[in-house]
């Protein structure tokens, strides 16, 4: 409160004393000094040592509290604290009269409220509009009128009072769309580059030689070779060594080799080929189509051949252990299976059998073709089962057809076989059966005084050679 002294009060007291009044008489009530004193609406009267005074409210001054105190300014009928640049904030300026001059759309002390006709939008006061006056929500929101203005319901990926920015889960694309933020994964850049998703959109920095938005392709000037990008190649003189045609249309050099030369650069003969121009087949190979292929069952185990049926398992002469894996055979009919290199038991043996000098144990012949049979046999009469008997040895062809007339017909006979200390050579000439088909050369034995017109079959275990009589 601000005190105001009343000098007139002292004059009144002196006049009363002069008139003979006892002012100190306790039986007489003292008058209220503030009677007739007005402090207005902004103060109250009180007495002190100096007499009645007006104690003014904050911001007011003067004998009757009707003036504004220092630092305060008149605002209508009120005294308010004078403004400063700080108290008027960002939305107003402090005038010379100590009152904030608010910017358009703002009002109130410190210009912190929106003026009538304006509404707060994203931290600022904007004119109140209706959905019908404009399209405040743009293409990404739906507008609704409310008492305080409008409200926008934003589509997925958009945010803000006017749906004019991307939600935190989205990013602004170069085309102006809000797209879902992308995240780098282990294989995002195809394991051929570094991934960066800091902008919301994935960006791959590809390794050298790779390109594409995910490093999924080769950079210009490179081509893919075996899953890797390599520098593109071009044909040069001598690329195919003069033995083929060069093609670089794919970006990789490819040679189409002449007959007999090996890929990829035609620099030597292909497998199984030989000769000055690689057009001939090596032993153990035969021309099949446009290349020399390994021949099964020819007695030669050559490169590229899975196994040489009949030549690589002398310990087991009765098992067809690999004929199904043969890559090629000259045999025209069903494969007859493994033919052992020899046949023996405790008292006789047969080995080294040849037909027309061929020791492969497989031969294709013509009906009635002359056949020269060679080889050797051994015999121990003492363990033969009849040491005193006259023993005959036979060789003959047996067909898979039980009714074939060749079965059991001797083509060679040793009429009195004796114990041998060394192998005895076989030398016989006969003709191939006239009936086409498969025939097995097998030995036989009888106990008579002379050779017989037929002999018994020892079975497949005694196969010494197989021929195929082809149909002419």
Mean pLDDT for each 10-residue chunk of the chain (472 residues)?
44 42 57 84 86 89 87 80 84 84 89 87 82 83 85 94 92 92 94 94 95 95 93 94 96 95 95 95 89 80 73 48 69 77 90 91 92 96 93 94 90 94 94 94 95 93 93 82
pLDDT score recorded for residue 6: 42
Strands 348-355 and 370-379: antiparallel
Residues near 357 by beta carbon (within 8 Å), at least 6 away in sequence: 372, 374
pLDDT score recorded for residue 312: 46
d(CA 179, CA 170): 5
pLDDT score recorded for residue 4: 44
How many Å separate Cα 42 from the centre of its chain? 84
pLDDT score recorded for residue 131: 85
State the distance between the two ends of the chain, measured CA to CA, in whole angstroms: 145
Tokens of 405: 């007339």
d(CA 202, CA 157): 17
What does the H/E/C string look like for the chain?
A: CCCCCCCHHHHHHHHHHHCCCCCCCCCCCCCCCCCCCCCHHHEEEEEECCEEEEEECCCEECCCCCEECCCEEEECCEEEECCCCCCCHHHEEECCCCCEEECCCEECHHHCEECCCEEEECCEEEECCCCCCCCCCHHHEEEEEECCEEEEEECCCEECCCCCEECCCEEECCCCCEEECCCCCCCCCCCCEEEECCCCCCEEEECCCEECCCCCEECCCEEEECCEEEECCCCCCCCCCCCEEEECCCCCCEEEECCCECCCCCCCECCCEECCCCCEECCCEEEECCEEEECCCCCCCCCCCCCCCCCCCCCCCCCCCCHHHCCCCCCCCCCCCCCCCEEECCCEEEEEEEECCECCCEEEECCCCEEEEEEEEEECHHHCCCCCCCEEEEEEEEECCCCCCCCCCEEEEECCCCCCCCCEEEEEEEECCCCCEEEEEEEEEEECCCCCCCCCCCCHHHCCEEEEECCC
pLDDT score recorded for residue 410: 95
Distances (CA, A) of 8 to 46, 51, 53: 15, 9, 12
> Contact, 54 vs 37, CB < 8 A?
yes
pLDDT score recorded for residue 29: 67
- CA-based nearest residue to 367, from 468, 226, 239, 264: 468
pLDDT score recorded for residue 205: 96
Q: What angle do CA 431, 433, 437 make, to 5 degrees?
A: 140
d(CA 398, CA 82): 135
d(CA 293, CA 284): 8
How many Å separate Cα 388 from the centre of its chain? 84
pLDDT score recorded for residue 154: 95
> Contact, 54 vs 63, CB < 8 A?
yes
d(CA 282, CA 266): 18
Query: What is the reported pTM?
Result: 0.43
pLDDT score recorded for residue 62: 87
Q: What are phi and psi of 170, to 5 degrees?
A: -130, 170
pLDDT score recorded for residue 76: 77
């Amino acid at each position: 409160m601000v005190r105001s002294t009343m000098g007139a009060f002292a004059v009144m007291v002196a006049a009363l004393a002069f008139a003979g009044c006892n002012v100190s008489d306790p039986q007489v009530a003292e008058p209220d000094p503030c009677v007739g004193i007005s402090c207005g609406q902004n103060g109250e009267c009180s007495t002190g040592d100096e007499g009645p005074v007006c104690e003014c409210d904050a911001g007011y001054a003067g004998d009757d509290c009707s003036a504004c105190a220092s630092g305060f300014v008149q605002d209508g009928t009120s005294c308010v604290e004078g403004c400063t640049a700080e108290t008027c904030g960002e939305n107003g300026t402090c005038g010379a009269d100590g009152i904030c001059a608010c910017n358009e759309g703002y009002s109130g002390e410190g210009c912190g409220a929106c003026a009538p006709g304006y509404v707060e939008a994203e931290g600022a006061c904007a004119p109140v509009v209706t959905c019908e006056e404009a399209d405040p929500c743009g293409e990404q929101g739906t507008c609704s009128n409310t008492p305080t203005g409008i409200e926008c319901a934003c589509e997925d990926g958009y945010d803000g009072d006017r749906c004019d920015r991307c939600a935190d889960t989205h990013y602004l694309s170069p085309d102006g769309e809000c797209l879902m933020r992308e995240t780098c994964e282990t294989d995002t850049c195809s394991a051929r580059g570094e991934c960066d998703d800091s902008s919301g959109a994935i960006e791959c920095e590809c390794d050298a030689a790779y390109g594409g938005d995910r490093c999924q392709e080769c950079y210009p000037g490179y081509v893919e070779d075996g899953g890797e990008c390599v520098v593109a190649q071009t044909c040069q003189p001598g690329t195919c060594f003069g033995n083929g045609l060069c093609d670089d249309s794919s970006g990789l050099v490819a040679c189409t080799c002449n007959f007999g030369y090996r890929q990829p650069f035609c620099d030597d003969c292909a497998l199984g080929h030989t000769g000055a121009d690689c057009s001939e087949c090596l032993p153990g190979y035969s021309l099949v189509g446009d290349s020399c292929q390994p021949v099964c069952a020819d007695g030669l185990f050559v490169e590229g051949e899975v196994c040489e049926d009949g030549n690589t398992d002398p310990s087991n002469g009765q098992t067809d252990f690999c004929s199904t894996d043969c890559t090629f055979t000259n045999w025209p009919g069903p494969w007859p299976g493994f033919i052992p290199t020899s046949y023996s038991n405790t008292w006789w043996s047969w080995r080294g059998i040849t037909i027309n000098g061929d020791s492969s144990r497989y031969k294709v012949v013509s009906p009635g073709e002359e056949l020269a049979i060679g080889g050797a046999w051994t015999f121990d009469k003492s363990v033969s089962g009849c040491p005193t008997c006259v023993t005959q040895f036979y060789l003959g062809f047996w067909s898979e057809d039980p009714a074939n007339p060749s079965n059991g017909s001797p083509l060679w006979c040793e009429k009195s076989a004796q114990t041998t200390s060394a192998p005895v050579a076989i030398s016989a000439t006969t003709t191939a059966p006239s009936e086409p088909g498969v025939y097995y050369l097998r030995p036989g034995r009888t106990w008579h005084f002379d050779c017989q017109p037929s002999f018994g079959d020892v079975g497949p275990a005694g196969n010494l050679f197989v021929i195929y009589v082809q149909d002419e």
